[in-house]
Each structure stands twice: as structure tokens, then as C-alpha cells.
Chain A
Amino acid sequence: MDAQRLLARNSFTELNARARARALLDPGSFRELIDPFERLSSPWLPRQGIVTQADDGLVVARGLLDGAPAVVLAIEGAFQGGSMGEVSAAKIAGSLELAAEDNARGIPTRAAIVFETGGVRLQEANLGLAGIAEIQAAMVDLRRYQPVVGIVAGPVGCYGGMSIAAGLCSYLLVTREARLGLNGPAVIEQEAGVGEFDSRDRATIWGLTGGEQRYRSGLADRYVEDDAADLRQALLDCMREGRPGRCRSERTEAFLASLAKIDGTRPATPADVATAYGKELRA
């Protein structure tokens, strides 16, 4: 990247969730639903002595993408690690449900989700998990009509049940600052021991689960510069492309065929994964 471009860059990862949603939508079209002044915050955190955020860390923004009706769901990674509580999960699920309902009536509402999350909020455990199941249900429903585009920008990354949601997207955009995985390194180390995965080994973690690697191995669709305008452009490109013939999560036979050739007892390198998935799945 040349110096001029570096200076002109407007880092997306440095924006908060509200600013991210605004940056993705057509200029001037942003309208927030259940804004912070409605104070629909977590009913469970104060009961455990934990300070809440007025919007529960989730921005629901209606607006336009390329002039077409849209909703952007942006998770605020700075609040409780972007974790999904009852309210934040319901804001995503409920919005996607309404978008699907629009489409069933002929209104082509599309959706984008900005994932910045560690997964279930453990203080709301089972309601967070149930909420994520409802998000996934709504994604599969809406995806029948319109692309559901996911963005993992960083710095939190996308983990836990929400990484499964990311796997349901019609298109997934990642940056160099993104990490995507089911179990965070600390959890794996806890469950399986430091010999399995050393949570302090940053190079390995990024090498295996970072945005560039996920793109290289076909587990993400686009690798985008950390720039608000670039991410918006990539999002619009995906919307213009329309629904893919088959989403990644529908490519059962190709993935099973690839997995059948893998030696599961040997620690995988980034190149192993790219090779295993590369050719067949990019076709």
C-alpha cells in the first residue's frame, strides 16, 4: 500500500459498532431501531452486579444498500467481548425474521451482520445459546431470498456459536485483523491441555484462524483491506452478485471428501488446510 493510500485510509476496525453500520449503509440512509435511549438493556447483568450498556452492545440499523432496503446488525465488540445475551441476540434474530417476512411479501430487504463476538454471554448462558439458535434459523430462512453477508473485521474476531452463524452466511468478508474459530485458544487449552493448543502462541493462532488463512483455505469469500470504503464496496459487490448457487454450509459432499483425505492425528499447518480445501471448494 502506498503512503498516500495509507493516509487516506479510514480504518473500519477502529470504528465502534454504530459508526460501522453507518459506514456500510448508503450515505444518509442510517436509521437506528431500538436505539440506546430506549434503554432496552440486559435484564440479567444487573442482577449479577454487572454494569449494562444501554443498547446491549448491538446496533440495529435500517437503511439502504445500493438503494435497496437493508438492515445492518453490528455487534459492539468492546462491550462484554461482543457476547450474545438475550437482548442482543434477539435484536439480530428479530431483525432477520422481519427481513425474511419482507421478502415473503415481495420487499427485497437484505441483511449484513458485523461479527465481533466471543459467542454466548456466559452470564446469560442458556438464553444466549437459544438466541443464537434463533439467529441461525432466521439466517437460513432469509438466505433463501437474499444474500446474508457477514463481516469479520476484528479485533475481537468471531467465536463460539456465532462462528457457526458466520458459517451460515451467503458470503463472508474478512480482514487481516479477523480471527474466526469455534473455540477460542484459551478454551481449547483449558479443555485439551497446552500440548493441544498453546493460547500464548500468537503466530500459530493467527496462522490457523486469521482472516488471511480463512480466505486462503476457502472458508471466507473475500479478503478486504481494513478500510471502511473498501468493506462497503465488497459488501455491495456481494449483494450485486446475488444468492450464490450453493452456500459454503451446503457443500456437504465436497467437504466430506476433503476431510476423508486428512490425517487427523497430525497437527495441521496452514498450508495443509489450504491444500485440503483449496481446489475442490473454490470450484
Chain B
Amino acid sequence: MQTLAFTFPAAAPPRGRALAGVVASGDLEVLLEPASDARITIEVTTSVEGMERTWAALFARLFAEPTRPAVHLQINDFGATPGVVGLRIAQAFDAVAQED
């Protein structure tokens, strides 16, 4: 098990919060909550160690432009592929976008 942290610039925060996924084999849980400063902070707890660069690359691609709302993302990962991670994060952002 390993814990990783990341920060990216972001736009205004959303109003709501959202949850996507479960901590099951090959899946992950994403908890999305509005953040007060203009940043996206991400805390990843993962069962697979030594994948920092893969996570960093994935997030850099997703959050390179500061267009996403400012949120804190907690990710509890149980060996999901980058594709599944991207899908769950998208589901969480979509859920708060619908609320706004």
C-alpha cells in the first residue's frame, strides 16, 4: 500500500460532492469534494506500489489546463488500470457538473 499526493491549478469550485466506484479488484473509489482555493488536490491510496510516474502522467494529462473546478479528490485504488481511473474521475466530475 502506498499513499501519493498531487496538486494542480483549477477554476472555481463546484457546489456539490460526488462518489464514484468501489474498492474492488481492478477498480477504485473516488471521493470528490469542493475545495476553497483554486487548486485540485489529489490524495491517492493504492494497493499497487511503485506506480508514481503512471499516476503523475495520468493526472498531468487530465488536469493540465486549469479549466476543471477546484476540488479535493481522494482516491482509494485497488489495482485499477489508468483507463478505469480516468472513467471514475470523469463520472465524479460529471455528477457535480449536473448538480451545478
A and B touch in the complex (CB under 8 A): yes
The count of residues in chain A whose C-beta lies closer than 8 Å to any C-beta of chain B is: 15
**Judging by beta carbons under 8 Å apart, are A49 and B23 in contact?**
no
Stretch binding the partner chain, chosen from A50-58, A177-185, A223-231: A50-58
**Judging by beta carbons under 8 Å apart, are A78 and B29 in contact?**
no
**Judging by beta carbons under 8 Å apart, are B45 and A51 in contact?**
yes
Chain B 9-42, CB within 8 Å of chain A: the 1/0 string? Answer: 0000000010100111001010101000000000
How many pairs, one residue from A and one from B, have CB atoms within 8 Å of each other in the complex? 43
CB distance from A108 to the nearest CB of B (A): 31
Q: Could you say which residues of chain B place their CB within 8 Å of the CB of A80?
A: 23
* A54 nearest in chain B by CB position: B31
**Judging by beta carbons under 8 Å apart, are A49 and B29 in contact?**
no
**Judging by beta carbons under 8 Å apart, are A49 and B1 in contact?**
yes
CB distance from B25 to the nearest CB of A (A): 8
**Judging by beta carbons under 8 Å apart, are A78 and B27 in contact?**
yes
B: contact size bracket: 10 to 19
CA distance A49 to B29 in the complex (A): 17
A46 within 8 A of B: yes
* A18 nearest in chain B by CB position: B19
* A45 nearest in chain B by CB position: B1
B47 within 8 A of A: yes
**Judging by beta carbons under 8 Å apart, are B76 and A37 in contact?**
no
CA distance A11 to B78 in the complex (A): 25
A52 touching B23 in the complex, CB below 8 Å, given contacts A37-B17, A46-B1: yes
B91 within 8 A of A: no
Q: Could you say which residues of chain B place their CB within 8 Å of the CB of A37?
A: 17, 19, 31, 33
CA distance A72 to B13 in the complex (A): 33
Q: Which of B17, B19, B31, B78 contacts A51 (CB 8 A)?
A: B78
**Judging by beta carbons under 8 Å apart, are B33 and A51 in contact?**
no
**Judging by beta carbons under 8 Å apart, are B17 and A53 in contact?**
no
A16 within 8 A of B: yes
A51 touching B22 in the complex, CB below 8 Å, given contacts A37-B17, A37-B33, A46-B1: no
Q: Which residues of B contact A (CB under 8 A)?
A: 1, 17, 19, 22-24, 27, 29, 31, 33, 45-47, 74, 76-78
List the 7 closest A-B pairs by CB distance, nearest first.
A78-B24, A53-B23, A49-B1, A78-B22, A51-B47, A79-B23, A51-B76
